[in-house]
Amino acid sequence: MKIVDKEITLTELQQMAQKIFGVLVKAVVDIKKGVMVVDAELHSDQEELLLDNKSNQEDLWGINLYPEKFGAPEWIEFDSMINLRPWQGNKSRGVDNSKVQEIIRDVVTKLVKP
Residues ≥6 apart with Cβ < 8 Å to 79? 62, 63, 64, 93, 94
pLDDT for 3 equals: 98
- Write the CA distances from 72 to 34, 88, 93, 102, 109, integer angstroms: 21, 29, 21, 15, 12
The pLDDT tens digits of the residues spanning 28-41 come to 999 999 999 999 99
Q: The whole model's pTM is what?
A: 0.96
Per residue in 8-19, pLDDT (tens digit) is 999 999 999 999
Compute the average pLDDT of residues 83-105: 97
CA atoms of 108 and 77, how far apart (whole Å): 12
Average pLDDT estimate for 1-9: 97
Q: What is the number of other CB atoms lying within 10 angstroms of the CB of residue 84?
A: 13
Amino acid at 17: A
- How many residues can be counted in the chain? 114
Q: What is the pLDDT of residue 27?
A: 98
**Region 89-109 average pLDDT:** 97
Average pLDDT, the chain: 97
pLDDT band per the 50, 70, 90 thresholds, residue 55: very high
Q: What is the pLDDT of residue 54?
A: 98
